[in-house]
Amino acid sequence: MIDGSLTVNDLRQIVSIGEIFEENQGKPMSLDELGEKLKTRGFKVGNGMSREIDDLESKLGGKQARRKMLLTRKKNGSQLTRAGQQICQEVRGVLARLGELQITVSSGRSMVRIGLTNTLATNFFPRVLTETAFFADFPKVDLEIVEGEPHELVGLLNSRVDFAVGPKDVNNGFASRPLSEWRRVLLYSRNATYRHDFSRPPSVATLREWIREENLMVPAPLIIPKLTQFLKPMTTGRILIVPQAAVRRHWVERGLGLAISYEEKRRVLSLSDPIGTIDLSHELGTTEMHLYQRPGMQLSEAAAFLVDAVTAIFNREQSDEQPRRAIR
């Protein structure tokens, strides 16, 4: 149980301890060295570092937590415990929220933070702002888009964002709500000259042969884990691993190759759109896009507005070639 004597300065010291060990790349460190590094950051360490850590551990977990909650202490040096690493991360989030509270109190403004994958941040979320009355209804609310790969979004939920949107892959015990199902597609440029004619989708077997003779940009393995089985054996083409979905689309747009990705949001078919798609869902499966929220967290009015807007746009969205199936 956290002691009432735990101060904001104590919280800052805990975060600094975590940062110092991170900078030391997980290697053991003597308490004297840790104390000296804390002094350079402006902390007073007057009672000896061992007693300082004892006091912090007692304030966090009572007397029984001494000498085991934050650090493991050995002759060859001390290291953060697993619990200590988690505590440092959580406290960093607490300090960030205290900073936001100070800004809110002094300026009357508040902040909503949203975790998104790169393709959602660049190709989808701007629509939420242009197709709704968010700016008009919440003139004193600021936004921060925190980008992350699918597997990083759960970590962001712990401390950095109010809610997150991404593939089902990010599920790790957090409450989530399915929004829609996205196809896995091959992206090609309608303005580029390839060895083969991708404007007329061939059979999967033929497509495999074509892909082996073209430059191909693929997403990180977390997005399509069995991609190597789909392409194998590669003959004359080149595979470029590009983890950011929006970057892949831009490269294809410039005629620099083909890309396999989960389908991006495009409302209607446009002949001026340089990107064409070939559905590979039968071979590679589909991706469920989910909304993720921290359990028990009460969203602000502005954050709740954005959640509703994201949900509404996902549900009504149509692909550029055929309707996308909504998940009920």
CATH number at residue 205: 3.40.190.10
Quote the CA–CA distance of 85 and 185 in Å, as a whole number.
40
Q: Does residue 310 lie in a domain region?
A: yes
How far is CA 108 from its chain centroid?
Answer: 28
For residues 213 and 280, state if they share a domain. Answer: yes
Distance CA 200, CA 18 (A): 56
The closest alpha carbon to 87, from 149, 16, 25, belongs to 16
Q: Are residues 253 and 295 in the same domain?
A: no
In a domain, 188, yes or no: yes
- Cross-strand partners of 125: none
Instruction: Give a yes or no: residue 49 inside a domain.
Output: yes
**Domain end: 87, 119, 150, which one?**
87
> Do residue 172 and residue 298 come from a single domain?
yes
Q: Considering the domain boundaries, does residue 323 fall inside one?
A: no
pTM above 0.85, yes or no: no
Task: Give the pLDDT confidence score for residue 246 in this predicted structure.
Answer: 64
Beta-bridge partner residues of 116: 147, 165
Whole domain around residue 142: which residue ranges?
Answer: 101-180+290-315
> Do 294 and 176 fall within a single domain?
yes
Is residue 112 domain-shared with residue 146, that is, in the same domain?
yes
Structural domains counted in the chain: 3
Do 175 and 311 contact (CB within 8 A), yes or no? no
Instruction: Tell me: do 145 and 169 sit in the same domain.
Output: yes
Count Cα atoms within 13 angstroms, Cβ side, for 74: 8
Q: Residue 57: its pLDDT value, please?
A: 84
Do 189 and 158 lie in one domain? The reply is no
Reading the chain (328 residues) residue by residue, the pLDDT tens digits are: 566 577 888 888 888 888 888 888 778 888 888 888 888 877 877 667 888 888 888 888 777 767 778 888 887 888 888 888 888 888 887 877 776 666 555 556 788 889 888 778 877 788 888 889 998 999 888 888 888 777 777 777 766 788 999 887 655 566 788 888 888 888 899 888 888 998 887 888 888 888 888 888 877 655 566 677 777 666 667 777 766 666 677 788 888 888 887 765 554 456 677 888 888 888 888 888 889 887 777 888 999 999 999 998 888 764 434 444 444 3
**Same-domain check for residues 68 and 199:** no
Cis peptide before 233, with omega less than 30 degrees from 0? yes
Domain assignment present for residue 116? The answer is yes
The Cα 56–Cα 70 span in angstroms is 8
CB 259, CB 239: distance < 8 Å: no
Residues 187 and 278 in one domain: yes
Measured CA to CA in angstroms, residue 11 lies from 7, 37, 232 at distances of 6, 16, 53
Judge whether 271 lies within some domain. yes
Task: Clarify whether residues 176 and 304 are in a common domain.
Answer: yes
Are 58 and 109 members of one domain?
no
